[in-house]
Structure 1
Amino acid sequence: MIRVYPANERYHANHGWLDTYFSFSFAEYFDPNNMNFGPLRVLNDDVIQPLRGFGAHPHQEMEIVSIVLRGQLKHEDSLGNEAITTFGGIQRMSAGTGIVHSEVNPSATEEVNFLQLWFLPERRGLSPSYERTDFDISQLKNQLLPVVAKNPSSPHVAHIHQDLTIYLSDLEEGKEIVFEQEEGRRIFVFLIEGELVLNDTTILYKRDSARITEMPQLKIDANANSRFMLIDLP
């Protein structure tokens, strides 16, 4: 089954310094029927103004992934980690038993747009940790490139404490990808740019998402040059 969530039906909040869209219940937005999709708990599409951001704040018992789409995102945490991420980089933080961090836009002139994803961990009580990895943008072309996984295949893939894999792809107009997974798992698709057709029947437009169950094979066709994220979930 493919269930589409149109971009314009996401919860929207504009705080001036932060313009954000929520795909799941978060902060002031609460919908008991939209709490999670498997272990995927949060997907926020955030735009932060120059020299603004989220000040130091705590987290516990959550795997948090940030994917920068444009601009720069600066991370600092109570473990002493500090890094700036741009497109082509992934940051993964395991909050575990407790961590304090901040995420700000270090640019004085440019907005930052990033996807903030939270996942329930495979078990509680993990030691807090932080990781920043880089992937080869050219490898996105017409294939699914793993960028986060439970069992990373290379140092360019961030490690996450949950049985899932996050893929990114740049699919050219007229090209096709077929994704296969084990029976009983879930697929989440988020279209960053472009236009996709799923299994010849379902069209996704920019910033639409799809939650897919009971469908171990998914065919993805591009009606236009498209960039998208696919998550293989338990």
Structure 2
Amino acid sequence: MTRVLVVDDEPQMLRALRINLKARHYLVATAADGSSALRQAVRTPPEAVILDLGLPDLDGVDVIQALRVWSKVPIIVLSGRSGAAEKVAALDAGADDYVTKPFSMNELLARLRAVLRRPSPEEPPLAVELGGYTVDVVNCTVRRRADGPWQPGQERPEEPRLTPTEWRVLALLLAHPGRLVTGRQILDDVWGPGHESKTNYLRVYLAGLRRKLEPDPAHPRHLLTEPGMGYRYQP
């Protein structure tokens, strides 16, 4: 059975969605706020998420961005926000579809079936060793390894801090170990449609990641550039 996580702060809406999804043989988990939703998604990853944007603790766009750090789970936004700007922001953050309240239950279920039919993308590994660090993409932490390849006298922070955008770029590369990821794909996945020509973004963010994670940023061993094509994570 397909597991669906439904996130909405309206009890009546959660109840209606749970009843309709269970009647169609989905396994349903619910959350009334963004923090609970993220904890549930980490503990028991869903196969699809139906997400309201107006949550009491986190904005739904922030929840989408947090999920996209480590997961490609299909996300359908179900929101009373009908403005074009809100839709664009949610889709650019990584949502797969957007349904406006009030809505037809049959339409929502059809859209859910549609996103579930799409081929499942590769998920980044939960934790990898990169240079002298252990990178945990679920908890968004980077910890220094005692046995890392440090040069004599080299000082490194115990836990380098990555920005949300750096995490999204890194997670995408880690999801394709040893394989080329084109610059266009990174720009489209991380920044959204319309940014395909912003190759300067990639140079800046890859330089920052190397500076924080590579033992010798000038001669990277793991975060490699393929000139004119894209980038590669080499384990």
Pairwise same-fold verdict (TM > 0.5): no
Higher helix share: 2
Higher strand share: 1
State which structure, 1 or 2, has the greater radius of gyration over its C-alpha atoms: 2
